[in-house]
Amino acid sequence: MIDFTLTPPQEAIRTQAREFADGELVPNAPRIDRQKEFPHANLRKLAALGWLGVLVPRDLGGAGLDNLTLALIGEQINRGCASTGVTWSVHNSLVCSPLIRHGNADQQRRYLPPLARGEILGAYALTEPGSGSDAAAMVSTARRDGDFYVLNGSKAFITTGGNAGLYIVFARTHPDPSLKAKAISAFLVEATYPGCKPGPSDAKMGIRGSSTVTLYLEDCRVPAANRLGEEGKGFHIAMDTLDGGRIGIATQALGIGQAALDAAVAWMRESAGDPAIYESQPNQWRVAEAATELDAARLLVWRAALLRDLKQPHTPQAAMAKLFASTSTNRIVRDALALRGEAAIIGDTPFERFFRDARITELYEGTSEIQKIVIARSLLKP
């Protein structure tokens, strides 16, 4: 039995995150999106709150909190600014988390304190131009050379790639293609290593304040001491990390959806004198359905986060949370856009930004189709 009642400290952090979002993120989100501005100032403020190391143990400079609290904070950050939210989520869920779960004591001591303080940002480099959903088909290589590995290849769609100080990079350490996933290893690659070269930021439809690049590895020499986990175990690390990442993106979708609902409800209240808007049953049904779906998504996110905290299997639960939250939110923002009408796409309105920001939540950290495969396999396996 899982108890969904939040503790007083969790409620307090949730309130603090909501107030931070309203005071610091909401006012600046339109400018960040319009100018495609990386949210340096927001991230510095999050670091000051200790929220760039939410999961990092206290003795390593972090907040020492749990995945449920990470989700509570994440919903509010993404409600305020999705560009800040995805940068923050990748840093916590895809970089700090695997270092905590799979790094050795030396790696944790070297990298977790500066990550938690925001002195460096983290990025996760799994996807390649020719291998998206089928991550095991990657072709980047890591050849052992004495006390180093020499990495060659390229990684695509790397969030925070242009601003990261540390990348977790996955590459093949054995040339036999038949080994597929068993030939993949993970590496901690510092941005200053020669041969590690991020390309220019990609032009994107949404989350335009985040940095997304192709990462090029050209004879990049990485100390063997920076291999994360055992050789050949990188794919296991990648999939375990993506369970947490999918909870993070489900949380992002939840925050965007809540922001869209809040904006729609506020507009309807302002239109209380117009029965065609305020008393319209179809309009009321739209917001009622949105509120119900968001609550259901929130419970799925909380369940997956709690299972991860309890160190129980949660791969299908994380996939369910991401699938439902992302598809529901995309439907909610479309309805909010339709509810507001033409005014929603003219000028600097939040509705069209929510629409653009929401779309990616169905694509990264595994498409909706991949989530369905994950869920189905969990049901059909013997």
Active site amino acids:
365
Query: How far is Cα 122 from Cα 305, in angstroms, rounded to an integer?
Result: 21
Helix H or strand E segment including 296: helix 281-309
Identity (one letter) of the amino acid at 183?
A: A
- Going by the DSSP 8-state scheme, the letter that residue 180 receives in this structure is G
Question: Cβ distance 241 to 100 under 8 Å?
Answer: no
- Pairing of β 148-159 and β 166-172: unpaired
Non-local CB neighbours of 305 within 8 Å, separated by 6+ positions: 66, 67, 68, 70, 71, 247
Query: How far is Cα 55 from Cα 62, in angstroms, rounded to an integer?
Result: 7
Question: Which two three-digit tokens encode residue 347?
Answer: 């000028």
Query: How far is Cα 365 from Cα 83, in angstroms, rounded to an integer?
Result: 16
Sign of CA dihedral 360, 363, 369, 375: negative
The residue assigned the tokens 């790696």 is 107
Measured CA to CA in angstroms, residue 214 lies from 125, 193, 198, 228, 314 at distances of: 9, 16, 6, 22, 30
Query: How far is Cα 76 from Cα 258, in angstroms, rounded to an integer?
Result: 9
Question: Which two three-digit tokens encode residue 10?
Answer: 């969790």
- Pairing of β 141-145 and β 148-159: antiparallel
Question: Cβ distance 297 to 253 under 8 Å?
Answer: yes
Query: How far is Cα 16 from Cα 49, in angstroms, rounded to an integer?
Result: 10
SS3 207: coil
| Residue among 305, 122, 136, 96 nearest 236 (CA) | 136
